[in-house]
Structure 1
Amino acid sequence: MGNTQKLSDFLAAVKYEDLPTEVIEQVKRLTIHTVGVSIASDIIGTTQKAKKLAENKGGTPEATVWGGSGIKINAEDAAFANATQADVLDWEDCSWTGHPSAGVIAAAFSTAEARNKSGKDFITAVVAGYEGYQRIAMAVQPSPVYLEKHSWGLSSWQIFGSSLAAAKIYGFDGDRFNQTIGATVYVTPVAVGLHAAGPAKSDIYHFAHGTDAANGIFAAKITEAGYDNGRDYLDGERGYWSMVSDSDDSTWYTLDLGERWLINETYIKHWPANMWVQTPLEIIDAIYKEHPFTADQVKKISLSPYNTLTGSDYLASTKTTLDAQFNAAFCIAAYILNPVSDANWFAEDQLERKEILDLIAKFEEVGETITPSTNFAIFQKGSFPEMTMRVELNDKTVLEKTIVYPKGHPRNNTTLEEEYELFERITTPVIGKENAKAFIQAVDNLETLGNIGEAAKYLIK
């Protein structure tokens, strides 16, 4: 029996009763967080475009677009809209290989709603999506030499989270899970992990999370309809890995199945920003709370080490939402001017706001150079890159702090109560306080929810 079948048999067999309490709590945490940051992105143009694209298609009324009009559409298109907006603020989770929650939560939710599945069914589907996705993604990670000439295919392996979650909702056996993997390989984008063409970042990156969620569900639907063969696509010299990498660490496909739950090793981002801007924001937040200051008091801000991804010159960029989210200087400036994290950091009128640009001009990254691949290697070992910030004020006051594990890291995780508070704060402007509180209650009692659609009705304007 090959690795594809072994992984497939595990995913088919896993039951709600098999899940440790901490795994069930993590599903609730990821659900409330992902849905919350999706709805919070309502003021951003990309979210509005994704909702309009999905709702205009109509189709069979199966599933709800979060923060939408309340009109139900088919499950794939709902997942497209929801997964796109899940990534718009770059505020969802981050695993060792990407953002599984954008696809897993969106696909599990829309397919569970379409099939009238329970909260327990949804929980189990989310776990299947994460456990399958993370092992496949880790198995195919390319070497640094490969990445010198090729893209990092985040939006390629991302699709497995949604297809495997949908397969679990559909109740597939091990053979059908195996074929779902085969169908997923056929509809996945290959190695299009580029955030930018040169220095010009593009919001197509956010839409890619939506298309992956929709195509993942479609791969499961193709499998449900039935097709010949198409098995064992993770195995052998021409397996999926050969499409996106120069490496196949096949031990990952079956590593500690049922014993080590990789969903609990996911980082839930505390701030609306790129993964490697989380620690700088955590530091500025700690410094500010200990010693509040205003923008005009700042003489210079320095951050160490220098990150090649988030340390680029925002002033020389195309100043898109994605440019801002991937820029440590912009996010720190946005925090200083508005210490309450929300979508307003990235509203269109903020991207070239003079006060933000003036603060960015006072920012520098110093020290050794560190790359995203180095950072991910540290994260994969259970740790996180240490960073230090120094804020010099005009009155010669120097404020300095070092942090290793920002909030949301598995070693410093948020609590459910903190996630509920965040959800209510950032979604109330869109869906209202009453709906926000009702959805929190539904997630808190997810294991007793008879039909996920009972929770979906609270996620509309």
Structure 2
Amino acid sequence: MTLSEKLAEYTVQLKYEDLPLEVVEFTKICILDWYGSAIAGKDEKPIQSIKELVEEWGGNEQSTLITGGKSSIGNACLVNAASSHIVELDDIHKSSIIHAGTVVIPAAIAIAEAYDLSGEELITAIVAGYEVCYRIGEAVSPSHYYYWHNTATCGTFGSAAASAKLLNLNVEQTAFALGNAGTQAAGLWEFIEDGANTKQLHTAKAAYNGVLAAMLARKNFSSASKILEGRRGFFESMSTEYNEEKITEHLGKQFKIIENSFKIHASCRHTHPAMDCVLQLAQEHNLTHENIVSIDIRTYQTVLNITDNPQPDSIYASKFSSQFCVALIAAHKSASLKDFTEESLHSPAIRGLMDKVTVRADPYYNGAYPEKWGAKVEITLENGMKYEASTDYPKGDPENRAEKDEMIAKFSNMVSDKVLSPDEEAATIFNLENIKIKNWLSKLSYNLANQKA
């Protein structure tokens, strides 16, 4: 069997009854976290641009747009996937370096609503989608990640697998879906140089392309049989080092979704290890930005590749600046959505502290990455005192878990100003296995249409 066929067989054979209670409940938290991120991002300008475009295109009213109203399945993927990625609070898997929620969940929800499927079917499909994209991401990382945005590339496979599951495709058709997902996989990191809107296009198209691949496969639209391992396939063309064994190792005997990490700070996950250390020291020693002389960060090279930006010029760019993020959390003792503002971006106190931040790669953290995303921070004060903190597991990792009540609190914080009832919405998601997705989203659509300005 080809690797695509093995992943297809796994996807087809997976049943809701196979899922341990822990996996079901954890998947609901993933859905809640995606939903909160999507609601929080829906009014951002890039999302409104995508919304305006899909309105110009038109489309059958099949699936709910997180921005309000309904459109086609594909259009819903574009809007909802982009919206859930823009506030930088979506989930992340360390060893594959993928934000699966922002790609797999909007695709699955759009199909589940359009075809009036159950919460049990949705949960099962999401588990399959996470499993497939995480395994592919692990196989090609970290070399793939230097040029390619794994969420966009590997995430396309996850969207296709979840969609294929919901469409009840057979093994051959599911392999077709994976093959045609792989040939569409794209997403280059160059946008980071400009702080461009492109990152939202990455998730939008990954969700959309996976659905497109599965919908065509339903019509027996064929694809390359060895899209992963073929001599002109995904591995050879997009990774300098890859490990095929990651695709099938313990496949069907574990559930990778529970390896998922969740963000607590509203910034790029690569900034979080150092931010956690700075926050710990600031709280333990009552530090303020006024008495700090220097902040020295030792971490892994990818942090520098993605977030070494000493002069961010927009709120969005500031979320990809280690210098800004550690200065912000030192000054505010918080880095939530409400802390990333124009005021904080131009704050003389924060800007002054940014000049005192150095970021260096360290052999220990380089060697541990991507299984561990760690950092060591040393803060020096005016009086010469030095304080150190380190972590291998920032808050939200499975090894440093954010508990259910913390995730509900995070959700409430993300949606509290969007005229929704956070407690009611959370309760609905934690009862998802007992409802039809269309019923849940019809209520959401009504709430969005009737929310106050």
- Fold equivalence (TM over 0.5): yes
Q: Which residue of 2 aligns with 1:239?
A: 233
Higher relative contact order (CA 8 A, sep 6+): 1
Cα gap change, 1:232 to 1:363, in 2 (>3 Å): closer
Cα gap change, 1:230 to 1:389, in 2 (>3 Å): closer
**How far apart are residue 278 of structure 1 and its match?**
1.1
Answer with 86-95 or 7-16: which moved more.
Answer: 86-95
**How far apart are residue 456 of structure 1 and its match?**
5.8
Whether the 8 Å CA contact 2:265–2:335 is kept in 1: the answer is: yes
**Counterpart of 1:111 in structure 2: which amino acid?**
I
**Counterpart of 1:114 in structure 2: which amino acid?**
A
**Counterpart of 1:168 in structure 2: which amino acid?**
K
Cα gap change, 1:403 to 1:254, in 2 (>3 Å): closer
Cα gap change, 1:453 to 1:220, in 2 (>3 Å): farther
After superposition, the CA RMSD in angstroms is 2.7
Whether the 8 Å CA contact 1:156–1:193 is kept in 2: the answer is: no
Cα gap change, 1:61 to 1:341, in 2 (>3 Å): farther
Helix, strand or coil for the counterpart of 1:46? helix
1:211 to 191, 201, 205: 205
Task: Work out the CA distance in 2 between the residues paired with 1:193 and 1:242.
Answer: 17
Q: Which residue of 2 aligns with 1:185?
A: 182
**Counterpart of 1:352 in structure 2: which amino acid?**
H
Cα gap change, 1:313 to 1:87, in 2 (>3 Å): same
Whether the 8 Å CA contact 2:63–2:110 is kept in 1: the answer is: yes
Deviation track 1:219-253 (CA, whole Å, cap 9, x = no partner) reads 11111233246434334323332332244532222
Deviation track 1:193-231 (CA, whole Å, cap 9, x = no partner) reads 22447x433221222111111121111111123324643
Cα gap change, 1:241 to 1:366, in 2 (>3 Å): closer
Q: Which residue of 2 aligns with 1:457?
A: 443
- Does the alignment pair 1:379 with 2:370? yes
2:378 to 360, 385, 390: 390
- Does the alignment pair 1:159 with 2:159? no
Whether the 8 Å CA contact 1:94–1:267 is kept in 2: the answer is: yes
Helix, strand or coil for the counterpart of 1:37? helix
- Does the alignment pair 1:253 with 2:250? no
Deviation track 1:140-188 (CA, whole Å, cap 9, x = no partner) reads 4475xx88xx723522222111111111111111111011112212333
Task: Work out the CA distance in 1 between the residues paired with 2:80 and 2:114.
Answer: 14
Whether the 8 Å CA contact 1:44–1:343 is kept in 2: the answer is: no
Whether the 8 Å CA contact 2:173–2:220 is kept in 1: the answer is: no
TM-score (norm 1): 0.87
**Counterpart of 2:103 in structure 1: which amino acid?**
G
- Does the alignment pair 1:138 with 2:131? no
Helix, strand or coil for the counterpart of 2:82? helix
**Counterpart of 1:312 in structure 2: which amino acid?**
D
Pairs within 5 Å for 1:49-448: 49-66=49-66, 68=67, 70-95=68-93, 96-97=95-96, 98-141=98-141, 143=143, 151-154=147-150, 155-189=152-186, 192-196=187-191, 199-228=193-222, 230-305=224-299, 307-309=303-305, 312-315=308-311, 317=312, 319-348=313-342, 350-365=344-359, 368=362, 374=366, 378-380=369-371, 384-394=372-382, 398-432=386-420, 434=421, 436-448=422-434
Helix, strand or coil for the counterpart of 1:11? helix
Cα gap change, 1:44 to 1:285, in 2 (>3 Å): farther
Q: Which runs of 5+ in 1 are unaligned?
A: none
Task: Work out the CA distance in 1 between the residues paired with 2:158 and 2:231.
Answer: 23
Helix, strand or coil for the counterpart of 1:94? coil
Helix, strand or coil for the counterpart of 1:92? coil
Helix, strand or coil for the counterpart of 2:417? helix
Task: Work out the CA distance in 2 between the residues paired with 1:142 and 1:336.
Answer: 30
Answer with 180-189 or 324-333: which moved more.
Answer: 180-189
Matched pairs, number? 442
**How far apart are residue 366 of structure 1 and its match?**
5.1
Task: Work out the CA distance in 1 between the residues paired with 2:132 and 2:26.
Answer: 16
Helix, strand or coil for the counterpart of 1:335? helix
Task: Work out the CA distance in 2 between the residues paired with 1:303 and 1:228.
Answer: 50
Whether the 8 Å CA contact 1:309–1:326 is kept in 2: the answer is: no
Task: Work out the CA distance in 2 between the residues paired with 1:284 and 1:357.
Answer: 16
Whether the 8 Å CA contact 2:128–2:161 is kept in 1: the answer is: yes
Answer with 239-248 or 251-260: which moved more.
Answer: 239-248
**Counterpart of 1:130 in structure 2: which amino acid?**
Y
**Counterpart of 2:275 in structure 1: which amino acid?**
L
Q: Which runs of 5+ in 2 are unaligned?
A: none
